Chain A
Amino acid sequence: MKFIKRYFSLFFPIFSITIVFNMYTYTQDLLESYKKNVNKNYSIIISSSKPIKHRTIYDLIDDVHIIEKIDTNKLTQSFASTLSKENLDLLRKNIPYFYNIVLNYFPKSSKLRNIEKNLVNHKSIIKVETFYEKHNSFTEMVILTNGIINFFIFIVLILSFMLIAKQVEVWYFEHLRTMEIMALFGASMFKRTSRLFSMAIFSSALSSFIVVSVFYLIHNNEVIKRSILKMGLYLADFSVWTTLIESLFSSLLVSFVIILLVVFAQKD
């Protein structure tokens, strides 16, 4: 019982660090996938009085992925039966040139406003159409939610760090006598606190194992899979080994650093 209690004093904060760390990467992956998806269906359309060279647009805005000229022939053709040939030619001459621009990234609304302004300022561009409204509502909410989640993840991380530090300190003072005796037989500080390190290793290994299992189940859950697919999102295949190694490495690193900070703050 005593053994279990001792080992689990570090387990819970280390477990919450590991799970929160993986939650962060999971939601971040989802968000990235969402942004890419929004980007795919998203474009800026400009109309101009004269043909515009691609170079001109590249000069006006950064990171352009594609510039497409929108074919207006089809549009004018639909009027062929109703308009006289003269009028049709007039229409063809006067109809502006349309271009569809896709960016390499997903712009924030402030960035988008900037882009709009740059384009409008060009003398031959008549009008710029961005899907600003659509962008503004749902996407902003997704980004906001993600921000809130990240904030809570951050709080949990800070609390867990503090809890580990507290537990290490408690352990240290509970074991002062033991450590004194060890010192009398020539044990270094590292040796005297070696049980702390073994507790951290045990806790990190167990946490990583549990967290990897949980996320394996999440990634392979049919319901979750289907709803992700329905949203048009895509998540890379779950790699058990990468996740395990990342979790183990990060939890060990964090707990060792905290142990070293707490232990070596005490006088030798």
Chain B
Amino acid sequence: MDNIIEAKDIYLAYDNQANIIKNASFSMKEGEVIVITGVSGSGKSTLMKALYGSIDIINGSLKVMGSELYKTDKFRIRAIRQNIGIVFQDYKLINDYNVEDNVALPLSIQGYKKAFCKKQAKNLLAHVNLALKAKRYPLELSGGEQQRIGVARAISHNPKIILADEPTGNLDEYSSSIIWDLFQRASIELKACVVVVTHTLPSELYDFNYRRLHLEDGVLNEIY
């Protein structure tokens, strides 16, 4: 089976500054879950940006869904991004869209009918316990609520890849377990590749199969 994500000896840096990530390699097949840990500032978010084509690698090879990202044109990048669901560390919700429209954004971008978008958004909001806030606006909600909207948006379009940057950072244990549950289901039911950057690993009690990578001093190591 082909790798959905394949990073070989990649180097990452912001325009001509020192390398933030050096010589990192890893690959993922469909349905796999990877958890990335590392102290603040170690480059976890930077690695995520590379995975959705927001920054280019300096060196090495990074293939997502079979395409070498830095070589592909914007049309292919768009097509790949439509198959990715991203949860951003700073949420990145659209403040003048209501909650429902935020969740349905990836679907509406892909041209799905309004009624279908609404139905899917309602469905997901119910999963993250926000069904009652569908018509509210992001700035009227708490950080934890915004974060859950970000998660709902990231899985609304049944993506092949989910990239979540500290998705449980602002959540209590109960809400976190809901999010982990959603990711696990996405990996099993949708065969999605799930990459989660986190400080808090899923509870030991929780039956969850995942690989763990650790970032330290620019080096990425697979721990288990």
Enumerate chain A interface residues (CB-CB to B < 8 A). Answer: 2, 177-178, 181-188, 191, 268
Asked whether A185 lies within 8 Å of B94 as measured between CB atoms, the reply is no
Q: Which of B190-207 contact A (CB under 8 A)?
A: none
8 Å CB contact of A181 from B74, B82, B92: B92
Q: Is B114 an interface residue (CB 8 A)?
A: no
8 Å CB contact of A187 from B52, B80, B83, B109: B109
Interface residue count on the B side (C-beta < 8 Å) = 21
User: Which one of B52, B79, B109 has the highest number of Cβ atoms from chain A below 10 Å of its Cβ?
Assistant: B109
Cα separation A185 to B156 with both chains bound (whole Å): 11
Known: A186-B109, A187-B109, A268-B74. A181 touches B94 (CB 8 A): yes
Known: A191-B109, A268-B74. A185 touches B96 (CB 8 A): no
Cα separation A268 to B94 with both chains bound (whole Å): 19
Asked whether B106 lies within 8 Å of A185 as measured between CB atoms, the reply is yes
Asked whether A184 lies within 8 Å of B81 as measured between CB atoms, the reply is yes
Q: Which of B83-132 contact A (CB under 8 A)?
A: 83-84, 86, 92-94, 96-97, 105-106, 109-110
Q: Is B136 an interface residue (CB 8 A)?
A: no
Cα separation A188 to B75 with both chains bound (whole Å): 8
Lowest 6 A-B CB distances belong to which pairs? Answer: A186-B81, A186-B82, A187-B109, A186-B78, A185-B106, A178-B94
> What is the chain A residue whose CB lies nearest that of B159?
A185
Enumerate chain B interface residues (CB-CB to A < 8 A). Answer: 52, 54, 74, 77-84, 86, 92-94, 96-97, 105-106, 109-110
Cα separation A54 to B74 with both chains bound (whole Å): 73
> What is the chain B residue whose CB lies nearest that of A174?
B96
Query: Shortest beta-carbon distance, B180 to chain A, in Å?
Result: 23
Cα separation A188 to B73 with both chains bound (whole Å): 13
Cα separation A2 to B78 with both chains bound (whole Å): 31
Asked whether A184 lies within 8 Å of B92 as measured between CB atoms, the reply is yes
> What is the chain A residue whose CB lies nearest that of B52?
A184
Asked whether B54 lies within 8 Å of A187 as measured between CB atoms, the reply is no
Query: Shortest beta-carbon distance, A134 to chain B, in Å?
Result: 65
Known: A178-B94, A178-B96, A191-B109. A185 touches B74 (CB 8 A): no
Asked whether A185 lies within 8 Å of B105 as measured between CB atoms, the reply is yes
Beyond A184-B92, A186-B83, A187-B109, list 10 extra A-B contacts (CB 8 Å): A177-B94, A178-B97, A181-B93, A183-B81, A184-B52, A185-B81, A185-B84, A185-B109, A186-B77, A186-B78
Cα separation A2 to B106 with both chains bound (whole Å): 24
Asked whether B86 lies within 8 Å of A185 as measured between CB atoms, the reply is yes
Asked whether B54 lies within 8 Å of A184 as measured between CB atoms, the reply is yes
Chain B positions within 8 Å of A182 at CB level: 105, 109
Chain A positions within 8 Å of B94 at CB level: 177-178, 181
Cα separation A59 to B77 with both chains bound (whole Å): 72
Cα separation A38 to B183 with both chains bound (whole Å): 83
Asked whether B54 lies within 8 Å of A185 as measured between CB atoms, the reply is no
Chain B positions within 8 Å of A184 at CB level: 52, 54, 81, 86, 92
Chain A positions within 8 Å of B96 at CB level: 2, 178
Known: A182-B105, A182-B109. A187 touches B78 (CB 8 A): yes
> What is the chain A residue whose CB lies nearest that of B91?
A181
Cα separation A178 to B96 with both chains bound (whole Å): 9
Cα separation A120 to B31 with both chains bound (whole Å): 99
Cα separation A191 to B105 with both chains bound (whole Å): 11
Query: Shortest beta-carbon distance, A47 to chain B, in Å?
Result: 79
Cα separation A183 to B96 with both chains bound (whole Å): 17
Chain B positions within 8 Å of A188 at CB level: 78
Q: What are 17 A-B pairs at a CB distance below 8 A?
A: A178-B97, A181-B94, A184-B52, A184-B54, A184-B81, A185-B81, A185-B84, A185-B86, A185-B105, A186-B78, A186-B81, A186-B82, A186-B84, A186-B106, A186-B110, A188-B78, A191-B109
Query: Shortest beta-carbon distance, B7 to chain A, in Å?
Result: 20
